[in-house]
Amino acid sequence: MQSAAIISVGVALLLSEPLHAAEQDAVRAAVAKGKYKPLTEILNEVASRHTGRVVDVETTRGLQGELRYALKLVDSQGRKQELLIDAATGNTVSTHTQDRSQALGLASLARYLAAISTTQRQGGHITDVEFERDAQGRGVYQIKLSAGPLGSSILTMDVNSGKIVRPPGAPHHKSDAAIKPLEEVLQHLSSRFNGLVLEVELEHDDALQPYYEVELLQSNGSTLELKVDARSLQVLKQKVED
């Protein structure tokens, strides 16, 4: 059942890939002649070795012009895996796994950020956060603080303890007293939205009005992207991405 689901999604996504018509015809002809393996066969082999659902299939070319399938899979814990597969042999050329399962929920991250804002006391506020893994494989958030008396800074926070694991770094945004603290934004959103926080960024539109971009990992592996007014906390836009 799993392989059938993967195949149906994968074929639909492949057909939506914006290839030139001539190249599409050439690939189909090569598959018919046995030069390339059919996508359904590739996906069957992937299903036998990997778990998760296929969210994207694209074709790409290697350095020598060889055709390859680039597949993206997401499992139930939100772990994303990217496979590059040779279309002629079905062999996996490369594998890249992105584990985002340690990212925090809105309310949990808001509590940690509130504690950081209190202890840092730099006169600014947190503008951006982004989940990633450090060199030791630990889940961390990169946190950017706006300009204050001590200057702007970048901090790294451990997701398990909420502790800062690296001292301040490079400069960032200028302070704007009217902008809501990021921890307040997350706490406000937690009553309406679910998901694990992958990234938050403070941006400005063409009229120089500030807004937060919030990316939340959903339970089905998709991501919910929110655009939130940085002063009023109004959700200006939301969309779901696979």
The domains located in the chain, with CATH, are 2-98 (3.10.450.40), 106-241 (3.10.450.40)
Average pLDDT score over the chain: 81
Least-confidence region, from 90-99, 145-154, 190-199: 145-154
Quick one: which H or E segment has residue 45? helix 39-49
* Alpha-carbon gap, residue 80 to 53, rounded angstroms: 10
226 phi and psi angles, rounded to 5 deg:
-120, 145
Name the most confidently modeled range: 41-50, 76-85, 185-194: 185-194
Q: Has residue 218 got a pLDDT over 60?
A: yes
Average pLDDT over residues 152-173: 73
Residues 6+ positions from 212 with CB-CB distance below 8 Å:
182, 185, 200, 201, 202, 203, 226, 227, 228, 230
The confidence score (pLDDT) of residue 89 equals: 92
DSSP 8-state class, residue 86: E
Kindly state the percentage of the chain with pLDDT values over 70: 82
Does residue 9 contact residue 53 with C-beta atoms inside 8 Å?
A: yes
pLDDT band at 123 (very low <50, low <70, confident <90, very high): low
* Alpha-carbon gap, residue 187 to 122, rounded angstroms: 22
Average pLDDT over residues 186-213: 92
pTM exceeds 0.75: no
Q: What angle do CA 197, 213, 83 make, to 5 degrees?
A: 60
Q: Has residue 13 got a pLDDT over 80?
A: no
Amino acid 136 reads Q
The confidence score (pLDDT) of residue 171 equals: 41
| Of residues 3 and 148, more confidently modeled | 148
Q: Has residue 136 got a pLDDT over 80?
A: no
